[in-house]
Amino acid sequence: MASLHDDLRAGVRSLCARFDNAYWRASDEARAYPHEFVDALTEAGYLACLIPEEYGGMGLGIREASVILEEINRSGANSAACHAQMYTMGTVLRHGSEEQKRRYLPGIACGELRLQAFAVTEPDAGSDTTRIRTFAARQGRRYVVTGQKVFISRVRQSDLMILLARTTPLDEVEKRTGGLSVFIVDLRDAGDAVRVKPIDTMINHESCEVFFDGVEVPAGNRIGDEGRGFRYIMSGMNAERILLASESVGDGLYFVDRASEYARSRRVFDRPIGANQGVQFPIADAYMDVRAAAAVRDQAARDFDAGETRGDGPNMAKYLASRAAWKAANAAMDAFGGWGMAAEYGIERKFREARLYLIAPVANNLVLSHVATHVLGMPRSF
């Protein structure tokens, strides 16, 4: 296994070397989608890493996907442009029908189809997913979807979207997690029934408001059973948390690499700034936090690949890694002095990008609440 991971790391590093800081700086400034980078990853097969070989993918696990995303972010690149292609896949793989897998997976594996959009968040529901109001009403052999989502990333670069919608109103279900269903929406067929409005954010992330105005979805595009979608989406979210934790680990290592290299070479008061403990300690401290988060991430990924469905490990990995990356980001900012703020150095761009993972895909307060109540058995506060 070690050599497979080493090979993956080496392959991803060499691909990423073609996309340097100048490339990412230019796409950040222009708020442009990094098509060339995503195409290169797709062509090399990395985004199809989780798709079984029989459908044209690499047939690897979350551990290997984690290695790929970690290396991408460690290189200074931003996996956010394409990571959903990996974790949304899990919902189709684990809960989709054989017919759905045959219809979509080979196209996704070879890059003909993009599955980059995952639509859960709504303006009035926020972190309380069970309160979503987007409704899919069954009408014969199809569903008609009406509602609104917010912060749906890469929808303009995606052919397909995984959508969570209510199929039974909240006041008619026994458990509030019931009555939700998951659909594959083919955005190419939706026409004007899907409207998209980009949200201008502090990072180049391509996130949008999405309005569904009577979108027709064939019943054959529902994943699994009607009403059990919350369970399906949660298993996808566990994969997402492990993978995004990996991006944070990669970000953390990027900051530590850059900061320690700068601290060795930048001379002030006739000596390298890194000879001062005030500069070296925060970098060493952040490095240990990143390594610890990576170990928790590794365990969560191993457990996930072995069939674990609980969210404890993925949530803890996401929490620890996002905080470790943020600590490393601040250590790097301090080590670079004024140049940390200069766009040409890349630190301030990565600083902005790393900040996202403290609040998304799940806000860290919600992780604390999960651990307090689900792991430690304390009473729920909401």
Q: Among candidates 159, 163, 153, which has minimal Cα distance to 215?
A: 163
Taking the least distance from each CB to ligand FAD, the nearer of 21 and 148 is: 148
The structure tokens 């934790």 sit at 245
Binding-site member from 65, 109, 119, 239 for ligand FAD (CB under 6 A): 119
Residue nearest to ligand FAD (CB): 126
Contacting range for ligand FAD; rule: CB under 6 A; set: 26-34, 149-157, 264-272, 275-283: 149-157
The structure tokens 């979350």 sit at 62
Taking the least distance from each CB to ligand FAD, the nearer of 97 and 365 is: 365
Q: Does 118 bind ligand FAD (CB under 6 A)?
A: yes
Q: Does 83 bind ligand FAD (CB under 6 A)?
A: no
Taking the least distance from each CB to ligand FAD, the nearer of 102 and 195 is: 195
Binding-site member from 85, 153, 238, 260 for ligand FAD (CB under 6 A): 153
Q: Does 382 bind ligand FAD (CB under 6 A)?
A: yes
Q: Does 198 bind ligand FAD (CB under 6 A)?
A: no
Binding-site member from 121, 158, 204, 221 for ligand FAD (CB under 6 A): 121
Binding-site member from 67, 132, 161, 356 for ligand FAD (CB under 6 A): 356
Contacting range for ligand FAD; rule: CB under 6 A; set: 168-176, 180-188, 218-226, 360-368: 360-368
Taking the least distance from each CB to ligand FAD, the nearer of 319 and 336 is: 319
Q: Does 269 bind ligand FAD (CB under 6 A)?
A: no
Site size toward ligand FAD (CB under 6 A) is 22
Q: Which long-range contacts (CB under 8 A, 24 or more apart) does 42-45 make?
A: 42/82, 42/85, 42/111, 43/111, 44/11, 44/15, 45/109
Taking the least distance from each CB to ligand FAD, the nearer of 269 and 382 is: 382
In the complex, the smallest distance separating the C-beta of residue 162 from ligand FAD, rounded to whole angstroms, is 9
Q: What is the 3-state secondary structure (H, E, C) of the chain?
A: CHHHHHHHHHHHHHHHCCCCHHHHHHHHHHCCCCHHHHHHHHHCCHHHCCCCHHHCCCCCCHHHHHHHHHHHHHCCCCHHHCCHHHHHHHHHHHHCCHHHHHHHHHHHHHCCCCEEEEECCCCCCCCCHHHCCCEEEEECCEEEEEEEEEEEECHHHCCEEEEEEECCCHHHCCCCCCCEEEEEEECCCCHHHEEEEEECCCCCCCEEEEEEEEEEEEHHHEECCCCEHHHHHHHHHHHHHHHHHHHHHHHHHHHHHHHHHHHHHCEECCEEHHHCHHHHHHHHHHHHHHHHHHHHHHHHHHHHHCCCCCCHHHHHHHHHHHHHHHHHHHHHHHHCHHHHHCHHHCHHHHHHHHHHHHCCCCCHHHHHHHHHHHHCCCCCCC
Q: Does 361 bind ligand FAD (CB under 6 A)?
A: yes
Q: Does 120 bind ligand FAD (CB under 6 A)?
A: yes
Give the pairing of strands 271-272 and 135-139. Answer: unpaired
In the complex, the smallest distance separating the C-beta of residue 210 from ligand FAD, rounded to whole angstroms, is 9
Contacting range for ligand FAD; rule: CB under 6 A; set: 11-19, 201-209, 214-222, 255-263: 201-209
In the complex, the smallest distance separating the C-beta of residue 381 from ligand FAD, rounded to whole angstroms, is 6
Taking the least distance from each CB to ligand FAD, the nearer of 67 and 81 is: 81
Q: Does 260 bind ligand FAD (CB under 6 A)?
A: no
In the complex, the smallest distance separating the C-beta of residue 150 from ligand FAD, rounded to whole angstroms, is 7
In the complex, the smallest distance separating the C-beta of residue 38 from ligand FAD, rounded to whole angstroms, is 15
Q: Does 362 bind ligand FAD (CB under 6 A)?
A: yes
- Which residues make up the interface to ligand FAD (CB under 6 A)? 118-121, 126-127, 151-153, 201, 205, 207, 356, 359-363, 365-366, 369, 382
